[in-house]
Structures are given as C-alpha cells and as structure tokens.
Structure 1
Amino acid sequence: MSDQMIGVVLWADARDRKAVIWCEDHGNLAYYTAPNQTEHEGECLDAGDLIAFEIREEHDCRLARNPRRVNAGFAPYLAHNLSGARRTRPDITRGGNVLPFEKRAG
C-alpha cells in the first residue's frame, strides 16, 4: 500500500531517470527510479521541481512512484541552500551532515 506525498526534487539524473526528493513531512528522503521505458515516456524530473507522488517504505527506504510535476522550477536553489546552511552555521553541524535537534525541557 502506498500513500500520497508532495516533495521537491533535490537531485535528478535525466539520463538514468533517477531522483532524490525532499518530502513534505520532512522525514527521510525518497528515492525515485523510473521503470524501464523509452526516454520519451513518463515524467522527466529536474532539481527544484515540486512534485506529487505515491510513496512507500521498503526495507527502511522511502520509494517514490508515479511522480507528477506540480510546479516546474519551484525551488531551483533548495539543494544548494541546504548544503550552504552547513557551511554558514558550523554551530549546528556537529557530527557530519546531520543537523541535531535541540533538547527538549522536561
């Protein structure tokens, strides 16, 4: 069973027809690989596109299926801005590329 999700494409490879998607729920990233089709079939995704898609979890991995472009070029600099946050805010990037959550009181 799969659920519906909205997300922004962070990275896409048109030749291999693969993409990495930042999901609206800010959970794990979703991965998309197009089924075997000719290059003129299906949706061609670009970084920054806002898409709607079906999502399912398999072996601790989120997989996107049947993407539909909602807005081409919605956030073209999102991936760059996210990686830039690490360089401009070294106080929040302890331990590699994971941003830690602040501890809650209580």
Structure 2
Amino acid sequence: MLGVILWSNAVSRQAVIWCEDHGPLAYLAGRVGTAVTGAWPGEGSLVEVETITDGGVRRVIRLTPVGREISLAPRLLRECDDAEPERPFFPTE
C-alpha cells in the first residue's frame, strides 16, 4: 500500500508513516526490510509499505521509496513563504 512519511529521523533510521488505508499510523525503525539505497526518505516522501500489527503497534516490515525523493514538506513551506497573502474579501452592498 502507499504511504506518506509524516516524520523522519535519518540518524536513528526511524519514520512515522500515514497509510492510504486510513488505518493507524505506521512506525519504521531501522533499515530492515527497506529498499532505501540513497538518502533516508524525509517528510513528504511517497513510499510503498507492507505492515504488521505487533503488540498493538502498526510496524513497517517492508518499505520502498516510490519515484524520486521529492521533499514535499520543505517545498510547500517555501512556496507558502513566497506567495503573496490574499486580501480578505469584504462584500459591499
């Protein structure tokens, strides 16, 4: 199933992932079962995951990045900073 990384830590090799089935968030700890060959995937990365429930926690047992690293969160933040704020609309009679 597809997922989007919400939080990631490259040093500890951990991530929290939202999954397309809208179930509980999935947790990834370590490289076991990952097909990550380059940089550790960051927030906003699209990934394909396989999960299991272990002790009431949804854990990722297989993770494969989908496409290239897009770093969506930083890009969206930059675009928001660059955007001109909208003026409020006040209807007149």
Does TM, scored on the shorter chain, surpass 0.5?
Answer: yes
Q: Displaced runs of 4+ in structure 1, greater than 3 A?
A: none
Letter in 1 for 2:62: N
Q: Which among 24, 28, 31 is matched to residue 32 of structure 1?
A: 28
Structure 1 residues 58-85: Cα deviation after superposition (integer angstroms, max 9, x where no partner): 11110012211103227426xx8xxxxx
Q: Which of the numbers 58, 76, 90 marks the counterpart of 2:73? A: 76
Q: Given the two structures, how large is their TM-score scaled by the length of structure 1?
A: 0.57
Name which one, 1 or 2, has greater alpha-carbon Rg.
2
Letter in structure 2 aligned against 1:54: E
Q: Provide, for residues 3-37 of structure 1, a one-character-per-residue CA deviation record: whole Å limited to 9, x for no partner.
A: xx21000000000000000010111000001147x
Over the matched positions of the two proteins, sequence identity in percent amounts to 34
Alpha-carbon shift at residue 54 of structure 1 (Å): 1.2
How many residue pairs get aligned? The number is: 70
Gaps of 5+ in 2: 78-93
The one-letter code sitting in structure 2 at the alignment partner of 1:50 is L
> Structure 1: any 5+ residue segments left out of the alignment?
81-106
In the alignment, the residues of structure 1 paired with residue 59 and residue 15 of structure 2 have an alpha-carbon distance, to the nearest angstrom, of 10
CA distance in 1 between counterparts of 2:72 and 2:10 reads 18
Query: How far is the alpha carbon of 1:53 from its aligned partner?
Result: 1.4
Scaled by the length of structure 2, the TM-score of the pair is 0.65
Letter in 1 for 2:10: A
